[in-house]
Amino acid sequence: MFGERPYAAVSTAELAQRAGVARGLINHYFGNKRDLYLAVVRRMVTLPRQDKVSIPDGTPSERVDAIVGWLLDTIAEHGTTWVKVTSHEGVGDDPEVQQILDQADDAAAERMLVMIGRADLADSAPLRALVLAYAGLVKVAGREWITRATLTRAQVHQLLADTLLTMITVTIPSVLITEPALTVETGER
């Protein structure tokens, strides 16, 4: 329901009715509507466990294709709810929601660096920032595909794969060369 309508337009009574439970049961397990929404946000942005993701050995292009396929499968699984949660359309400028989203972005950046075979760069602030910028593209492209239907899944896959492959083969090596005094721990020179 949070994916179908704005947060304020969803009532606890409606949530309970759709779930087929008494309203008191939602209050018992989640406290109130906001706490339930925060649980939904956490669920939408929690990545599957690393052991559930199979990234093949092979060329960088094959690895990227598998990574992007996995990303799009994850987005498709949650659809419009994922779009609403990751684009701040939920409860607006809520610091607790923002904290959950920031933590999820950090975890996703670290996971992406592991998946592209560069876990050694996870503590580099500039390289994490590059991956976070890519995550922004994933969110916008996901919205254009899922809710606006201005892009197809195949078009989103191509966009994200081309961008990620360029990051891996051009951008990250370039940053590493141009920032030789960059310390991995602090991201400072």
- In-domain check, residue 54: yes
- In-domain check, residue 56: yes
pLDDT exceeds 50 at position 183? no
pTM of the model: 0.74
Structure tokens at 5: 């309508």
Structure tokens at 51: 């052991």
CATH number at residue 84: 1.10.357
Structure tokens at 136: 């922004």
The pLDDT assigned to 185 comes to 47
Residue type, 89: E
- In-domain check, residue 77: yes
How many folded domains does the chain comprise? 1
- In-domain check, residue 29: no
The domain of 174 spans: 48-178
- In-domain check, residue 1: no
- In-domain check, residue 186: no
DSSP letter assigned to residue 117: T
- In-domain check, residue 5: no
Please write the tens of the pLDDT for every residue from 102-139.
888 888 888 888 888 888 888 888 888 898 899 889 98
- In-domain check, residue 138: yes
